[in-house]
Structure 1
Amino acid sequence: MKLKRFYLRYYPPGIILEYEKRGYVRSKSIDLFDLTPETNPDELVEEIRQSEPLVTESRADQVKQLILRLQQKQGQKNHRFCFFKELKAHVLPLTNVAFDKSGSRFITGSYDRTCRVWDTASGTELHTLEGHKNVVYAIAFNNPYGDKIATGSFDKTCKLWCAETGICFHTFRGHMAEIVCLAFSPQSTLVATGSMDCTAKLWDVETGEEVAALCGHTAEVISLCFNTVGNQIVTGSFDHTVSIWDVASGRRVHTLIGHRGEISNVQFNWDCTLIVTGSMDKTCKLWEAVSGKCVTTLVEHKEEVLDVCFDLSGQLIATASADGTARVFSAATHQCLVSLVGHDGEISKICFSPQGSRVLTASSDKTARLWDVQSGSCLQVLDGHTDEIFSCVFNYEGDTIITGSKDNTCQIWY
């Protein structure tokens, strides 16, 4: 084995090793989830050298410099967000917003049957993706590449677009009801779609052909997520169950049974070991991805859990509820670390900043809020929308926020 080069991964912190083995170029990652600005870089380099043969003594200083860069990134102070611009994005309410990896562009879906591509820095519209015959509900960039966009519609189709030109590459046809969720595989070779027809489907990005139909749910599939390796996908359904599927064969590996209400969201953690699920039964559950066993049930909320997510390192879980509160839990101890109290309406969306130090929530009270993960205090109220906010996202750097509202607008915050 011969080490060729290093790549830095800021969020979650890690170093990617690219090496040659038997004539093939491969890569592996050294995850540094516990890295803090206080970590001794020399001690960490020695730890890495002991466990990773590719990191030889001659490479030690190079690795130390990479660790110092990661620590410098972590040491950057969180800034206060300022309202930059409101975009009258659509003539009907928005459904979702999503950034590309660089954060230089974002997309909005709408009930007006279009998806629009925007330049983040100026707020100017770059493309209108037209062609769907009903609501454009689910949208995504093929990050980290950012050269393709997928749109899922109530017209039962999914379309694949060129992000640079707005040209439609493929229309994926085969679902018998509305498409309500979608995702690109990490390698950007597949698109997964979930539908009200109780199935999920996998589509080939190059050919536009259906690769697999994931059949087994008895009600709508409303959430899905690839793991970071791309060999498994998890689906959540209104039938109260969650399924783990093998991507290569399309076969169901596990059915996760235990919730007593519809599933609201499902997500793998970064290292693919855990799955978190939120449900209308007011609980959140943590599952082992390999065995399909339930690890714990988080029962802090008094009403439906409407959204749930891991932070990028997979060490924290955030939940959002119709009871107007959010919670942050430890994925390791399952303890509730902080309660986020302050919204006057249900919280439909929650996400961590890439650094994991802040949580962003969107509510029917027409505001989004920024919270400190350590103290649980509200750092900032992002107001200005005139109707409920149901989508909010950070860019990859964590220094820009987009909020999408039922008032037909989205707002950019720097």
Structure 2
Amino acid sequence: MRALQAHILPLTNVAFNKSGSSFITGSYDRTCKIWDTASGEELHTLEGHKNVVYAIAFNNPYGDRVATGSFDKTCKLWSAETGKCFYTFRGHTAEIVCLAFNPQSTLVATGSMDTTAKLWDVGSGEEVSTLAGHFAEIISLSFNTTGDRLVTGSFDHTAILWDVPSGRKVHVLTGHRGEISCVQFNWDCSLIATASLDKTCKVWDANNGQCLATLLGHNDEVLDVCFNYTGQLIATASADGTSRVFSAETFQSLCQLEGHNGEISKVCFNPQGSRVLTASVDKMARVWCVNTGVCLQVLEGHSDEIFSCAFNYEGDTIITGSKDNTCRIWH
């Protein structure tokens, strides 16, 4: 384990490039930093935002670009190799809180507190379209693997499925009774999962927009949801301090991951689908066995809440980002 004194203020997010050779951290100190995973050395500091850098992403699988979304209402596109800023995307009228590259790395989608999402051209730096239709902030967004659909999740209790080429609304996913905290496609683009503060997750048919199932069991807000890489499993993270794994085929609960002493803000699978990683306000991250629900590892050392975590592509390295201003690399 290596602890990196990453920033002078708390971290907001961490993310690996596809190979796991480098990773990025965003922070309240208004910067994003690029790190070498093996050595722990800082490669670049991406400076220029005038407020918190909240949303960050590599353009995986390529990994030669980084996008940063900030409370200063702009998104910036950077070279991961030189740290140079290519473009500043201006147009949102409130904080940017989520972003993603399409799989082809030709577009960046940004979601904002101004209730809109915008699509930006990576090559030209121009705005391609504004996706308007939500009535409250957009908190999460996800492209499908072909890049022709984008789903946005909002505090207006709905998710909207958009056609990327035309910028048109395809389906409005209605049924949640609370703000949506997270939206995600499965790998073959057939399903969408939504997590909500109404204590449930819902699974939707991405083709017709119908709700297929409501995943029950949590007794507090669900803060994160994800599919494993093959799309057969769904993991949830809740403010009730537990995580659950569900079958994406039968929608039955397969196991409950119990052991944290506080809300779990992030959950993710390793690429192999055999492990689940959770990050909690209890200052710890945990690694769990998907099949048994047994906790295999407790990652201790942070001195404040952990609100970001990620596996590398091999599944043998984990990074965690904390309010204690550090990130840690676990091998």
Into which bin does the TM-score normalised by the smaller protein fall? Answer: over 0.9
How does 1:38-49 map onto structure 2 within 5 Å? none
Query: Which residue among 310, 322, 326 is the counterpart of 2:227?
Result: 310
Task: Please name the residue that 1:241 is paired with.
Answer: 158
Structure with more of its chain in helix, by fraction = 1
Q: Which one of the candidate residues 370, 383, 393 is aligned to 2:287?
A: 370
Query: 1:355 and 1:176 mapped to 2: Cα distance?
Result: 40
Residue identity matched to 1:226: F
The answer for the alignment partner of 1:61 in structure 2 is: none
Q: Deviations over 1:8-46 (max 9, x none)?
A: xxxxxxxxxxxxxxxxxxxxxxxxxxxxxxxxxxxxxxx
The offset of 1:150, in angstroms, is 0.1
Matched, 1:220 2:137: yes
Which of 3, 15, 18 is the equivalent residue of 1:98?
15
Q: Could you tell me how far apart the structure 1 residues matched to 2:314 and 2:87 are?
A: 31
Indicate which of 58, 63, 85 corresponds to 1:141.
Answer: 58
Correspondent of 2:181 among 264, 276, 286: 264
Matched, 1:399 2:319: no
Whole-Å Cα distance in 1 between the matches of residues 137 and 221 of structure 2? 18
| Distance of 2:35 and 2:216 partners within structure 1 | 40
**Counterpart amino acid of 1:269?**
N
Q: 1:220, 1:306 → 2: CA distance?
A: 16
- Give the match for residue 266 of structure 2: 349
2:303 paired with 1:386 = yes
Secondary structure of the structure 1 residue equivalent to 2:219: coil
1:299, distance to aligned residue in structure 2 (A): 1.1
SS at match of 1:155: coil
1:300 aligns with 2:217: yes
Counting matched residue pairs gives: 331
Unmatched 5+ stretches in structure 1: 1-82
Matched position secondary structure for 1:113: coil
Write the letter of the residue equivalent to 2:288. Answer: W
Q: Corresponding residue for 1:205?
A: 122
Q: Which residue of 1 aligns with 2:101?
A: 184
Deviations 1:105-138 (A, max 9, x none): 0000000000000000000000000000000000
Amino acid at match of 1:409: T
1:42-81 map, 5 Å: none
* C-alpha distance in structure 1 between counterparts of 2:9 and 2:289, whole Å: 33
- 1:328-386 CA deviation, whole Å, 9 max, x = no partner? 00000010000000000000000000000000000000000000000000001000000
Aligned to 2:198: 281
Using the size of structure 1 for normalisation, the TM-score is: 0.80
One-letter amino acid matched to 1:242? A
- Match of 2:83? 166
Give the C-alpha shift of residue 310 in structure 1.
0.2
Aligned partner of 2:256: which letter?
S
Aligned counterparts of 1:292 and 1:119: Cα–Cα separation in 2: 41
For residues 164 and 404 of structure 1, what CA distance do their matches in structure 2 show? 22
Root mean square deviation of aligned Cα: 0.3
The CA deviation at 1:397 is 0.8
**Based on CA coordinates, which of the two structures has the bigger radius of gyration?**
1
Q: Name structure 2 gaps, 5 residues minimum.
A: none
- In structure 1, the partner of 2:73 is 156
Q: What letter is aligned with 1:364?
A: V
**Identity over aligned pairs, percent:** 76
Taking the aligned partners of 2:185 and 2:271, their CA distance within structure 1 comes to 16
Higher share in strand: 2
Residue 127 (1) aligns with residue 44 (2)? yes
What are the superposed Cα offsets for residues 47-98 of structure 1, whole Å, 9 maximum, x if unpaired? xxxxxxxxxxxxxxxxxxxxxxxxxxxxxxxxxxxx2x10000000000000
Match of 2:243 among 326, 339, 343: 326
For residue 292 of structure 1, give the secondary structure of its aligned residue in structure 2. Answer: coil
Give me the whole-angstrom Cα distance separating, in 2, the residues matched to 1:391 and 1:336: 24
